[in-house]
A = this chain, B = another copy of it.
Amino acid sequence: MNQVTIKDLARHLGLSASTISRALNDNPSINPKTKKLIHDLAAKLGYEPNVMARNLKAQHSNQIGIIVPEIKHDFFAKVISGIEEVAYNSGFTVIVSQSNEDEEREKLNANSLYMNRISGLIVSVSQTTNNLDHFRNLMEKGVKIVFFDRICDGLDTYKVVIDDYKSSYDAVKYLIATGYKRIVHLAGPQNLLSCKNRYLGYKQAIIDNGYNFEEELVVFGGMHEDDGIRSIKNIIDKGIKFDAVFAVNDPVAIGVSILVKKIGLNIPGDVAIIGFSNNPITEFVTPSITTIDQPAYEMGKKSASILISLIKGKTKLTGSKTIILPSKLIIREST
């Protein structure tokens, strides 16, 4: 119950707290014999430094905060996994919180993390976030922030992403090269830069390949399975003809796949489908779905290592503040 403190050790050995502290931190100005004595006693009594006290003194927590929309999404879970790995190896702990795609909750999370005096923050912003003041405030207070994937404009800090525009452009180009003529795009919320870029990539690929860009082939919606079902149903009900669907992400693509199969259409015979993220499910569904691989684990590792460099402020990070990780079109049965 009662923890052993430096003072306890000091009393036992008739030394001062300062000596104990120095010995345990391997300060060279302490007599090796004394040092050994202290280390031995510490081990014997099971002394564990009180990180709260140490942090209070040091004025930082050695903790990295994470805010993601939802932990249970495969992509975010993997990113967190990567962050934790790097953080752990650098002596940081990781505090996780989820915004549940709610701006208000995101604000509260950011604030709560600041109260814990986190050394840095890694964020993928919520779908509903429009105002960025809560992040701006933290930055002004000296908290380093790195954004990944769901990044946003208007904040001068590091961002780790893939090239959504190009990935999207390439995917659509591939569809066209394969012979598809009327490609629907189920787009995501446009306040998310990544969704916007995916949309723009789609649009440009359409234009660059001599097709007409048709408004009716684009539906703006959410990012879940049922959004996919709903959006594609909408298109079909309107009698709009199409032979391929490029979805803003995998759940939406799967939604499309479900509905399309349900009404008896053939994939990819009647409709080709491309998703985004390489969620494990896309590999196992039938037909397996072509998608764009986002290196989630790597993204977490990269974000964490940048953040830690920022926190330590040692090496001046060179190059652009937006780090682009390689993505890859994974071609499967659905195209």
Is residue A14 within 8 Å, beta carbon to beta carbon, of the partner chain?
no
Chain B residue numbers with a CB within 8 Å of A137 are 46
**Contact A114 to B84, CB < 8 A, known contacts A1-B142, A53-B56, A74-B72:** no
Select A285's contact among B97, B109, B285, beta carbons within 8 Å.
Answer: B285
Taking a contact as CB atoms under 8 Å apart, the answer to whether A70 and B81 are in contact is yes
Residue of B whose beta carbon sits closest to that of A280: B281
Nearest B residue (CB) for A296: B72
Cross-chain contact B94 with A52 (CB below 8 angstroms):
no
What is the CB-to-nearest-CB distance from A97 to chain B, in angstroms, rounded to a whole number?
A: 6
- Asked whether, in the complex, the Cβ of B97 is within 8 Å of the Cβ of A95, the reply is no
A sample of 29 inter-chain contacts (CB < 8 A) reads A1-B141, A1-B142, A46-B137, A48-B114, A48-B115, A49-B115, A50-B56, A51-B115, A52-B55, A70-B81, A71-B77, A71-B81, A72-B77, A72-B81, A74-B77, A80-B96, A84-B96, A84-B97, A84-B98, A88-B109, A93-B95, A93-B97, A93-B116, A94-B95, A94-B96, A96-B96, A281-B284, A285-B285, A286-B286
The answer to the question of A61 belonging to the interface, with a C-beta cut-off of 8 Å to chain B, is yes
Decide yes or no whether A111 CB sits under 8 A from chain B. Answer: yes
5 nearest A-B residue pairs (beta carbon): A286-B286, A77-B77, A1-B142, A284-B285, A71-B81
Which residues on A are within 8 Å of B, measured CB to CB?
A: 1, 3, 46, 48-53, 55-56, 61, 63, 70-74, 77-78, 80-81, 84-85, 88, 93-98, 109, 111-117, 137, 141-142, 254, 280-281, 284-286, 297
Q: Which residues on B sit within 8 Å (CB–CB) of A51?
A: 115-117
Q: For residue A112, which residues in chain B have a CB less than 8 angstroms away from its CB? A: 93
Total copies of the chain: 2
Q: Which residues of B contact A284 (CB under 8 A)?
A: 254, 281, 284-285
The reply to whether B56 and A52 contact each other, CB–CB distance below 8 Å, is yes
Name the residue of chain B whose CB is nearest to the CB of A76: B77
Q: Which residues of B contact A74 (CB under 8 A)?
A: 72, 74, 77
Determine if A71 and B84 form an interchain contact, defined as CB atoms under 8 angstroms apart: yes
Kindly report which residue of chain B lies nearest to residue A112, judged by CB atoms: B93
Q: State A1–B153 Cα separation when bound (angstroms).
A: 23
A1 CB contacts on chain B under 8 angstroms: 141-142
In the assembled complex, which residues on chain B have CB atoms less than 8 Å from the CB atom of A80? 71-72, 96
Q: Smallest distance from the beta carbon of A163 to chain B beta carbons, Å? A: 24
Q: Is A117 a contact partner of B52 (Cβ separation < 8 A)? A: yes
Residues of B with C-beta under 8 A to A286: 285-286
Name the residue among A50, A114, A142 with the largest chain B CB count within 10 angstroms: A50
**List of B residues within 8 angstroms of A49 by Cβ:** 115
Q: Which of A1, A55, A93 is packed against the most chain B CB atoms within 10 Å?
A: A93
Q: Which residues of B contact A95 (CB under 8 A)?
A: 63, 93-96
Residue on B nearest A109 in the bound complex, by CB: B88
Are A48 and B81 closer than 8 Å at their CB atoms? no
CA distance A68 to B95 in the complex (A): 14
With both chains docked as a complex, state the minimum distance between the C-beta of A145 and any C-beta of chain B, in angstroms: 14
Complex: A74 Cα to B284 Cα, angstroms: 15
Taking CB atoms, residues of chain B closer than 8 Å to A81 are 70-72, 98
